[in-house]
Amino acid sequence: MKNKLRELRADRGWSQADLAERLKVSRQSVNAIETGKFDPSLPLAFLLAKLFNAPIEQLFQFED
């Protein structure tokens, strides 16, 4: 799963730790999601979408 979290986070000037604090997860969780090594659950994906005020499909793109 590809994602645009890094760009969206950078646009807001947030560090990984800032985003982690907003999501109430570890910074390593944010890093693992950003690098595409860990796919978040639907609730966490929705939370990210709400936080960035963007639809989920703008944040995550499914790769065949």
Partner 1 sequence: MNCTTATGFSFKRQNPALRRYSQRFSVAMGAYVVTILLAASHAKTGHTHGTLAYLLAALPGLSVIAILVAIGHYLREEKDEFLRAIQTEALLWGCGVTLAVATSWGFLQMFTDVPRAPLYLIFALFCFVWGVAAAVIPRRYL
Residue pair 62/1 in contact by the 8 Å Cβ criterion:
yes
> Is the CB of 14 or the CB of 29 nearer to partner 1?
29
The packing angle between helices 42-52 and 16-23, to 10°, is: 120
Residue 21 lies near partner 1 (rule: CB under 8 A): yes
Query: Judged by CB, which is closer to partner 1: 15, or 58?
Result: 15
- Range in contact with partner 1 (rule: CB under 8 A) among 4-12, 38-46, 51-59: 38-46
Q: Do the Cβ atoms of 3 and 34 come closer than 8 Å?
A: yes
31: contact with partner 1 by CB under 8 A: yes
